[in-house]
Amino acid sequence: MHDAPRRAVSAVERVQALVIGAGPAGLMAAETMAAQGIRVVVAEAMPTPARKFLMAGKSGLNLTKDEDPDAFASRLSGTLPHVPDYLGTKDMGPSEVMDWARGLGIELFSGSTGRVFPVGMKGSPLLRAWLLRLRDMGVELRTRWRWTGIKDGHWRFDSPDGDRLVHPEVAVLGLGGASWPRLGSDAAWVPWLADLGVAITPFRPANTGFRVEWSPAMARHFGQAVKGVALTAGKLTSRGEWIVSRNGIEGGGIYEVAAPMRDGVEARIDLAPDLTVDELASRFAKAPAKLSVGNRLRRVLGDPVRAALLLEWGQPLPTAPTELAMRAKSLPLRHGGAIGLERAISSAGGIAASSLTENLELRALPGVFAAGEMLDWEAPTGGYLLTTCLASGRLAGKAAAARLAAGK
C-alpha cells in the first residue's frame, strides 16, 4: 500500500484479539471471544458504533424472521458454498437470535408475516444494552480508529492520537459492504486485501430501489404506496407494499425481488392477484361504457395507483375485456436500472469463497477472519440480513477463539 505523509507512528501495541468494525458482525465476534476470557479490542472508524444498525432501526428494527430454519436459510444466496452453514445461520438462526436479544432485556414480538421486532421498535435500547454487556466483559471499544492497511505485519490505524500500529494474535474483520457509505461501510478495505491475494467479487446494490422516468401524469402519485399487487421476477414473487417515488420505485415489496431485477430479469406485476383472468375480464366488461378509460380502470382495480401503473406501463391498452385483464395481470415493470450503492439497503459481492476456509479464515492471512456484509452473500430484507451478520460474527469469533486456544 502507498501511504500519504502521516504523523509520527507509535510503538507497536500487542493485543490478544482485534476486531475491526463495530457493526453487528464485529460486535458479535467480540462478544463470542470475550465470553471465553479473551481480551478483545474493537476498532471503529466512525465516532459511534453500529451506525447502519441504528439507521435500520429508525423505522422499526427487524431483528429476524420467526420461521423454520430451513426456510430461513433458503433465502440466502451468493458464491459461498452451502451458504447457510458457511455463514453460521444453522448454528445461530432466528430462535437463537431471539434468545440472545431477550438475554439483553429486550422484549420482542412477531408481526403477522413472522418478522420479529423489539416491542419498542427501535434499535438504540438493544445497542445500549449490548455495549454495556461488552464493556462488563472487558471488551475495549476505540472509536475514530480508521484502519489504513497492513504494513510489515502490523495493522495500521489513523486514530485521534495519530498513527497507531497494532499486532494482534488473531483478528476479525467486520468492515461491512459498500452500501450507505456515509454510515461507515465504504469498502475502502477492498484494495488492501486484494493486494494481499484475497479474491473480491465486485460489489453491487442489493435490496435496492430502481430508477423510473415517469410521465408527468404520475406526479400526483409520488409518495403513495402500491398495495395488493404481486410482483414477480424469475423464481421470486413478492406481495409486499412498495412506493412510487419521484425518481422511481422502492420499498420492501421491491427489495424482495431486487436481486433478479438487478441482474436483468424482467419483472411483471399482477395488479389483481386474487382474481383470475376471467373474473377480472368480467369486471371490465361490466364497467359502464360511459366512463373514461382512467375511471374505468380505477373502478375495476379499486385503487388509483394501480390504475395509474396500468396506464403508465400497459400502453397501448387493449380494448377487449379479456386482453385488458391479461395485461393487468402481467404488466411489465419498466425501469432504468438499480439505484446506486449509496442508497441501497445492502450490497452483494465481497470476499469470495475461494479466499475463505469453512471457518471464515482468510487463506491469505492466517489468523484473520471475516464476517458480515463484507463476505459474498446476499439476502432480502425482513430479518435475514441482520440475523446472518450476527451469525457470521459468532462463527468467526468462535473460530478465532479456537485458533488462540490451539496456539497456547
pLDDT digits (tens, 9 = 90+) for 158-170: 999 999 999 999 9
- pLDDT at position 59 is 76
State whether residue 170 is helix, strand or coil.
strand
- Asked if 134 and 183 sit in the same domain, the reply is yes
The secondary structure of residue 344, as a DSSP letter, is: -
Whether 255 maps to a domain, the answer reads yes
Whether 272 maps to a domain, the answer reads yes
C-alpha cell recorded at residue 396: 468467526
pLDDT at 292 over 90: no
Q: Is it true that the peptide bond before 316 is cis, omega within 30 degrees of 0?
A: yes
Query: Which of 332, 360, 385 is the last residue in one of the domains?
Result: 332
- Asked if 215 and 175 sit in the same domain, the reply is no
pLDDT at 79 over 80: no
Work out the average pLDDT over 23-48: 97
Query: Which of 282, 308, 332 is the last residue in one of the domains?
Result: 332
Report the C-alpha gap between 93 and 280 in whole angstroms.
42
pLDDT at 216 over 70: yes
Whether 186 maps to a domain, the answer reads yes
pLDDT digits (tens, 9 = 90+) for 301-352: 999 999 999 999 999 999 999 999 999 999 999 999 999 898 899 999 999 9
- pLDDT at position 2 is 38
pTM for the model stands at 0.90
- pLDDT at position 315 is 94
C-alpha cell recorded at residue 236: 421470486
Whether 381 maps to a domain, the answer reads yes
Write out the residue range of the structural domain in which residue 325 sits.
210-332
- Asked if 308 and 360 sit in the same domain, the reply is no
Count of residues making up the chain: 408
Identify any residues that bridge with 201 across adjacent strands, giving them in sequence order.
350
C-alpha cell recorded at residue 383: 430479518
Query: Which of 307, 332, 357 is the last residue in one of the domains?
Result: 332
The total of structural domains in the chain comes to: 2
pLDDT at 52 over 80: yes
Edge to edge, the sheet with strand 64-65 lists 64-65, 115-118, 108-110
Number of other residues whose CB lies within 10 A of the CB of residue 142? 15
pLDDT band at 194 (very low <50, low <70, confident <90, very high): very high
Answer positive or negative: Cα dihedral of 374, 376, 380, 382. Answer: negative
State whether residue 286 is helix, strand or coil.
helix
Mean pLDDT of the chain: 92
- pLDDT at position 331 is 98
Cα–chain center distance at 164: 32
pLDDT at 375 over 80: yes
Contact by Cβ (8 Å): 45, 19? no
Q: How is 194-216 classified by DSSP, letter by letter?
A: HHTT--EEEEEEES--EE----G
- pLDDT at position 5 is 44
- pLDDT at position 219 is 97
- Asked if 266 and 402 sit in the same domain, the reply is no
- pLDDT at position 290 is 86
pLDDT at 277 over 50: yes
- pLDDT at position 211 is 97
C-alpha cell recorded at residue 357: 476456509
pLDDT at 8 over 80: no
Work out the average pLDDT over 34-39: 98
- 261-291 as b/e: b if 16+ CB within 10 A: bbeeeebebbbbeebebeebbebbeeeeeee
pLDDT band at 82 (very low <50, low <70, confident <90, very high): low
The secondary structure of residue 48, as a DSSP letter, is: S
